[in-house]
Structures are given as structure tokens and as C-alpha cells.
Structure 1
Amino acid sequence: MARLISSSAAVCFVLLIAMAMAPATATETAAAADRCEKDLDLLMGSCEGYLRFPAEAKAAPSRACCGAVRRVDVGCLCGMVTPEVEQYVCMDKAVYVAAYCHRPLLPGSYCGSYHVPGPVV
């Protein structure tokens, strides 16, 4: 019986901690989304001309663009790549720009629905 009570108490304790952390988690999630949005603004402000279609005309990005690429959270930005974004941003160029700026995307990974060329490492 004592073991049943202590198990119940442990479950209640874990639930209370989870409930107490929920507001902080929601706040942290909102802050992360805000940072990601700012990263997107920074990247598009500095690199937009290097990321648009057509895919054939790849140009070496500017210093400002590479500086932005080095500062942004690529994982967060890849999570924001929707089919609508892929109609505006040439993902082949995005991979090229990231590699040119010494911040290559992991071969075999995904950025939105775009599969980064190369084997899964």
C-alpha cells in the first residue's frame, strides 16, 4: 500500500512540474519563433537576390549575405520552408549560398520538403 501511495505521489509531482513548466515552455517557444522570424528577415534582406529563381544563374553572394548566413539558425529557418516559400526561394541556390558561405547544409537532410543533395551522412 505504501508503495502505491508513493507511486501516486511521484506521478502527481511529475504532473505538477510539467504544469509549472508549461508557461515557460510556451514563452520559450514564442521567443524561438521570434528569433527565427528575425533570422528570416536578416537573411532575406541580405541574400534575397542570391536566392531567387531562375536556378541556373548562381552568383557568389556578397560579404553581407555570408555574414547573415553565418548568424542565422539554419535548422529553424529550414523548419519555416513551406511549399509557398519554395515557389519564391530557389532551394538549389539556398544550398549553394550556404556552402559558399562555409555553412553547408547536411547532405541528405531536408530543408522544408527540399532534399539536400548527397548521401545521408
Structure 2
Amino acid sequence: MNTTKVMLRVLVFSLLFTMLSTHQALGNKENCDKDKDFIKRQCEKCIGVGRKFPTTQLCCNAIKRADMACVCRSITLEEQLTISVVKVVDVAKECGNPVPPGNKCGTWTVPPQLLGWVHP
């Protein structure tokens, strides 16, 4: 009888933990998309495909408050037609919120930091 009660408690706690962690993950996705949209607006010229423009303070402010690994993962192939993921990673590093090596940024994997490494 005690074993049944213990098992029932474990099952209830497992269910609650799963519900709470799923809700948190959904919230993070929503926040990630909001951050990405905000960064796209604030950093349009800094991260756009084509000519490189200087990074603005507004852009850095947007990047500093974002989960950049999440933002990078959420950049779609379609968005990469207008956004340079290499510039996103560079600007994030410049602004003090780097994307960790090994993470995906769009379809590109952020390389390990090498001394003297320069991206194409």
C-alpha cells in the first residue's frame, strides 16, 4: 500500500515538472522570436547582407538583452537572404553578448575561436 502511494506521488511530481518545463520552453521560444524581430529592426544595416555598416548603440542594446544563441538558432533560411549570420555573430561579440562556438546561427555553425581567425 505504501509503495502505491509513493509511486503515485512520483508520477504526480513528474507530471508537474513536465508541464512546468514545457511551458517555460514555449515562453522562451516566444521571447526568442520577439528578440530576433527587435534585433532585425535595430540592427538592420549592421547585420544585413552586403555592405558592412558600423554597429550602432541601439543595435548593441538590443543584442545585449537577448539570448543570442536562441536568436541565432531561430534564423530561417529565408531570413538569411537579408541577414548575414556571420555579421550577427560578429556584432554580438562586438556588443559583449557572443554566440558560443559550436552553436548554429541560421545554417552556419559558429567556429571555435582561433587566434588570428578571420571569416571570409
- 1:34 matched residue in structure 2: 30
Indicate the structure (1 or 2) with the bigger Cα radius of gyration. 1
More helix by share: 1
Equivalenced residues, count: 114
- What's the TM-score once normalised by structure 2's chain length? 0.75
Q: For 1:83, which of 52, 77, 81 is the aligned residue?
A: 77
Identity over aligned pairs, percent = 26
Distance 1:11 1:82 in 2: 44
- Tell me, which stretches of 5 or more residues in structure 2 are unaligned? 115-120
Kindly tell me: are residues 118 and 26 of structure 1, through their superposed partners in 2, closer, same or farther at Cα, counting changes over 3 Å? closer
Q: Deviations over 1:43-90 (max 9, x none)?
A: 112102211112xx2222111001111111112212212322323311
Kindly tell me: are residues 87 and 10 of structure 1, through their superposed partners in 2, closer, same or farther at Cα, counting changes over 3 Å? farther
- 2:117 matched residue in structure 1: none
2:13 is aligned with 1:17: yes
Q: Deviations over 1:16-54 (max 9, x none)?
A: 112233433333223222221221122112102211112
- Tell me, which stretches of 5 or more residues in structure 1 are unaligned? none
2:60 and 2:95 in contact (8 A); partners too = yes
Secondary structure of the equivalent of 1:117?
coil
Which has the larger displacement, 97-106 or 59-68? 97-106
1:60 and 1:97 in contact (8 A); partners too = no
Superposed CA RMSD in Å reads 2.5
Matched residue type, 1:72: A
- What's the TM-score once normalised by structure 1's chain length? 0.74
Kindly tell me: are residues 61 and 29 of structure 1, through their superposed partners in 2, closer, same or farther at Cα, counting changes over 3 Å? same
